Amino acid sequence: MPAQPPSLIEFCTAGLRARHEAHHYRALVPTRTLEGAMIERGGVRYINFGGNDYFGLSQHPEVVAAAGAALQINGAGGSALLSGYSLQAESLSHALAQAKGSEACVLFGSGYLANLGTITALVGKGDLILADKLAHACMIDAAQLSGATLRRFAHQDLVHLERLLAQRQDYRHCLIVTETVFSMDGDRTDLAAMRKLADAHDCWLLSDDAHGLGVMDDAAAHLRLGTLSKGLGAYGGYVCAPQAVCDWLINTARSLIFSTALPPSVLAGAQRALELLYSDAALRTRPLHHAQRVAAALGIADAQSPILPLILGDAEAALAASQKLAEAGFWVPAIRPPTVPQGRARLRFSFSALHTGTQINRLTEALHTHGITPHSHL
């Protein structure tokens, strides 16, 4: 007799037990965003070093006012191809295209959906996707859903990429996918060099600018994806590309066709945020300067973006360091496998224009006091 299959509850309970034992268990904690860079979780207030609101635009009075002024209806009422494509959507896609110097731009429900819809609309069975080893999960999910052959090149390793390109052979389309600023490592990609390789092998280059908006120029990529949910402090995703490519996506990207459009209020807030970001050079560099100060205090390589990783090794060490900082009033998430590779668990600091110089000083003092260094094993 074959063994009885586990019940649904047994299956989940056993899986959760394994996650607990490996220190990979995750739970949702209701979090309230307060003014400045403060948050409240479980009744405790922290200085937040775990957000993606790099320029503080989610709470900028002009952004909130613009969103409020557009809130005649809640929701969009339909997908973009039916009745959901609002005047605000039209206006924001033009503003994004203009800001990026691109011919056109298409909006999606989120960055995840933009990757899913774009990649599956352009490649399929018989095609090749070459992805950076650390490319975001949504690019990998999209690659798998597309049915194309997926191969990974070592992180930022153009020599390895070129070796894989040399084996491009009989594949019909070839798509290279990467991030402009890597979400867990904060390092920047040399898109211009990658574009040269792409052109030399008749490949298309797709970059995801989720963490690079306002920090990096992604003009070298054919397909310039991004999100409205990080630097712009709103919600939604987009792809900037030549008009014909955008029209193709509107006609074929399933995550755009079969999902409701973004609400006008969110879009109006994102547009005001975009205008503020592109008109204020000091705002764009402020979070990077915070990251550079903390990197110098830790004695690690200079920060290239507002994201600063401090690699501590195993999940337990990263959790212990995060816990110590939390007790001292700093919210710095521990990033563990499977989000990052085994043995590369880390603290991930993300800096915001909302942080004050005093808050940055307090953080560096706390790191010193608690002996949190690149080599600590707490």
Ligand X SMILES: *Cc1c(COP(=O)(O)O)cnc(C)c1O
Are 312 and 325 in contact, with CB atoms under 8 Å apart?
no
Choices 7-15, 106-114, 289-297, 349-357; region in contact with ligand X by CB under 6 A: 106-114
What six digits make up the tokens of 79? 């997908």
Closest to ligand X by CB, 195 vs 211, is: 211
Query: Cα separation of 31 and 329, whole Å?
Result: 14
Nearer to ligand X, 188 or 362 (CB): 188
Decide if 93 is catalytic: no
189 belongs to the binding site for ligand X (CB under 6 A): no
Q: Is 339 in the site for ligand X (CB under 6 A)?
A: no
Q: Which residue is nearest to ligand X (CB)?
A: 111
**What is the Rg, in whole angstroms, of the alpha carbon atoms belonging to the chain?**
22
Residue 112 or 331: which CB sits closer to ligand X? Answer: 112
d(CA 277, CA 201): 36
Which is nearer to ligand X, 102 or 229 (by Cβ)? Answer: 229
Give yes or no: 316 in active site. Answer: no
Binding of ligand X at residue 211 (CB under 6 A)?
yes
Q: Considering the rule CB under 6 A, would residue 208 count as an interface residue with ligand X?
A: yes
Per DSSP, the three-state class of 222 is coil
Asked if 162 is an active-site residue, the reply is no
Among 58, 97, 118, 136, indicate the residue that binds ligand X (CB under 6 A).
136
Asked if 321 and 334 count as a contact pair (C-beta separation under 8 A), the reply is yes
> Is residue 179 close enough to count as binding ligand X by CB under 6 A?
yes
Residue 83 is among the residues annotated as catalytic for this protein:
no
- 375 carries an active-site annotation: no
Quote the least distance from Cβ 235 to ligand X, whole Å: 7
Active site residue 230: yes
State the Cα–Cα distance between residues 194 and 221, nearest whole angstrom: 9
Piece of 111-119, 163-171, 267-275, 327-335 that binds ligand X (CB under 6 A):
111-119
Question: If DSSP codes are grouped into helix, strand and coil, which group holds residue 223?
Answer: strand
**Complete edge-to-edge strand list for the sheet that includes strand 307-313:** 307-313, 345-350, 334-335
Whether the CA torsion 154, 212, 355, 26 is positive or negative: it is negative
* Interface stretch with ligand X, choices 59-67, 104-112, 295-303, 331-339 (CB under 6 A): 104-112
Residue 229 interacting with ligand X (CB under 6 A): yes
Catalytic, out of 53, 132, 185, 208: 208
330-331 sheet: strands from edge to edge? 31-33, 38-41, 44-48, 330-331
Closest approach, Cβ 179 to ligand X, in A, equals 5
Would you call the peptide bond into 338 cis, given omega within 30 degrees of 0 as the criterion?
yes
The only residue of 39, 92, 129, 138 in contact with ligand X, by rule CB under 6 A: 138
Q: How far is the CB of 212 from ligand X (least distance, A)?
A: 9
Handedness of CA 369, 352, 180, 28 (dihedral sign): positive
Catalytic-residue membership of 155: no
Among 237, 263, 269, 306, binds ligand X (CB under 6 A): 237
Both tokens of residue 348?
């991930």
CA dist 367 and 295 (Å) reads 11
Judged by CB under 6 A, the residue of 54, 112, 204, 331 near ligand X is 112
Would you count residue 110 as binding ligand X (CB under 6 A)? Answer: yes
Give buried/exposed letters for 187-225 (b at 16+ CB in 10 A, else e): bbbebeebbebbeebebbbbbbbbbbbbbbebebbbbbb
Task: Determine, following the binding rule CB under 6 A, whether residue 267 of this chain makes contact with ligand X.
Answer: no
Catalytic residues: 52, 136, 179, 183, 208, 211, 230
Write out the residues near ligand X by the rule CB under 6 A: 110-112, 115, 136, 138, 179, 183, 208, 210-211, 227, 229, 237
